[in-house]
Structure 1
Amino acid sequence: MSAQNAHPGRPGIDLPDPRGRTGLDRQGRDLTGNPRVRVHDVEVLACDWSVLRRTTFDYRHSDGHWSRERRETYDRGDGATILLYDPERRTVLLTRQFRLPAYVNGHPDGMLLETAAGLLDGDEPREAIRREAEEETGRTIHDVEHVLDAYMSPGSVTERLSFFAAPYDGSVPGADTAGVADEGEDIAVVELPFTEALALVRSGGIADAKTIMLLQWAALDGPFRQS
């Protein structure tokens, strides 16, 4: 058997994966920011839309001893989310859509109330969230305020999420549904009084982490904070 046949091309490594990417096993190999971490190997376990990797590394503990560790990381790219609010009418504009992972993990129907959000897809966060807000709510926004950046599940997911907020004019009628049909999106646009949205957080009616964080920000430091 020839060497070429003995080592067939691997999608995402030396052959393009479904998104045209190669070299996916190189990410994370050359990190130097933490002297307590020495990366030995990065394996690509799956690469369809997102990338599942298994990294083997040595880690020096606080008492000085080293241990060999293996961790899986799920890389779906970075994203952005935004809270749209009407300060005059004291309302917020959310979306409702089906989320399979929540459905298979105990959510009654998988239909989550959320702030508009999406992946950056190569754009800067502020540019990306303008696009996503219009796609998911039908609203064109202008005065976008950066709130914070956060890793939402740092034990396994690489995604860094940029949080934003912006006013919208609720006196102008908007769409009841939105989303990009070609991407399978079927999104309901939901306007709620801010106090009702907070009550849904307390009752569990809003169970999405990014939405809870932005609503809490709006109450503590944002447009609905008490003077």
Structure 2
Amino acid sequence: MKNKRIKNISTKIVSQFWGKLERIDFDYYFKKGGWKRLSHEAYGKSDGVAILLYNPQTNKVVLSKQFRIPVYVAGVNQGYSIEVCGGAVDKGESPEACVMREAQEELGYKVSNVTHISTVFLSPGIVRERVHLFIGEYSDRDKMHYVGGGLEIENEEIEVLELSFKEALKMIDTNEIIDARTIMLLQYIKIKEMIEV
């Protein structure tokens, strides 16, 4: 449905190095009255996915640790982020197929049953990417040999971490886990009491 408070939209691509950065100019009608010309930037490429693998029998979760340049530039955790597995949805790929593929590539687990939790914007003021959040049960029999740790062709170097759920929750309090997707999914598991704390 079209928003009648917005008109005269024009876009200009500023950069298309990895994702697309666009400058968007538009007229916006304010509730107090009157139109005003505004300019914003929007960044992103395709939608993304993220999955938290959890084991209710062992009360453990599987996370990844990898270097993130924005975290490094911000001066946090020497640039390392502990987070759920995630990635970008390829053209023609469903979010479910993508998240199962990413779980194999990054974590080395072949999961066949995933549950969609929500689709969210992580930074709606600037990033247009939507992230499809999933959870999936895993067991030791789902572990694949010689798989995981990311793809070399994508310059990924991922450390796979299997942690107790209790330890993962504590890592939020100590700021070792700072990724919003990871915090949301860990809290979801806690709220739904899917694992004992």
Q: What secondary structure, in the 3-state scheme, does the structure 1 residue paired with 2:140 have?
A: coil
Q: Shift of the alpha carbon at 1:40?
A: 3.0
Listed one character per residue, the Cα deviations across residues 13-40 of structure 1 (whole Å, up to 9, x for unaligned) are xxxxxxxxxxxxxxxxxxx621111133
Q: Shift of the alpha carbon at 1:171?
A: 6.5
Q: What secondary structure, in the 3-state scheme, does the structure 1 residue paired with 2:125 have?
A: coil
Equivalent position to 1:209, from 167, 176, 180: 180
The answer to whether residue 119 in structure 2 is matched with residue 149 in structure 1 is: yes
Bigger Rg over Cα: 1
Q: What secondary structure, in the 3-state scheme, does the structure 1 residue paired with 2:24 have?
A: strand
- Corresponding residue number in structure 1 for 2:62: 93
Superposition pairs of residues 16-55 of structure 1, within 5 angstroms: 33-55=2-24
- Corresponding residue number in structure 2 for 1:58: 27
* Distance change >3 Å, CA 163–CA 222, structure 1 → 2: farther
- Corresponding residue number in structure 2 for 1:110: 79
Equivalent position to 1:81, from 46, 50, 70: 50
- Corresponding residue number in structure 2 for 1:168: 138
- Corresponding residue number in structure 2 for 1:192: 163
Listed one character per residue, the Cα deviations across residues 113-147 of structure 1 (whole Å, up to 9, x for unaligned) are 11000000121111110111110001000110010
Q: Shift of the alpha carbon at 1:172?
A: 6.5
Larger RCO (CA under 8 A, 6+ residues apart): 2
**Mind listing any 5+ residue stretches in structure 2 that lack a counterpart?**
none
**How many Å separate the matches in 2 of 1:134 and 1:152?**
24
State percent identity of aligned pairs. 36
When normalised by structure 2's length, the TM-score is 0.93
- TM superposition outliers: structure 1 runs of 4+ over 3 Å: 170-177
Checking the alignment, whether the CA contact within 8 Å between 1:39 and 1:55 is kept in structure 2 is: no
**Mind listing any 5+ residue stretches in structure 1 that lack a counterpart?**
1-31
When normalised by structure 1's length, the TM-score is 0.81
Q: What secondary structure, in the 3-state scheme, does the structure 2 residue paired with 1:179 have?
A: coil
Checking the alignment, whether the CA contact within 8 Å between 2:117 and 2:135 is kept in structure 1 is: yes
CA RMSD of aligned residues (A): 1.8
- Corresponding residue number in structure 2 for 1:130: 100
Listed one character per residue, the Cα deviations across residues 186-222 of structure 1 (whole Å, up to 9, x for unaligned) are 1110000000000000111111110001000000025
Checking the alignment, whether the CA contact within 8 Å between 1:144 and 1:166 is kept in structure 2 is: yes
Listed one character per residue, the Cα deviations across residues 131-181 of structure 1 (whole Å, up to 9, x for unaligned) are 111100010001100101100000000000000000010366666951101
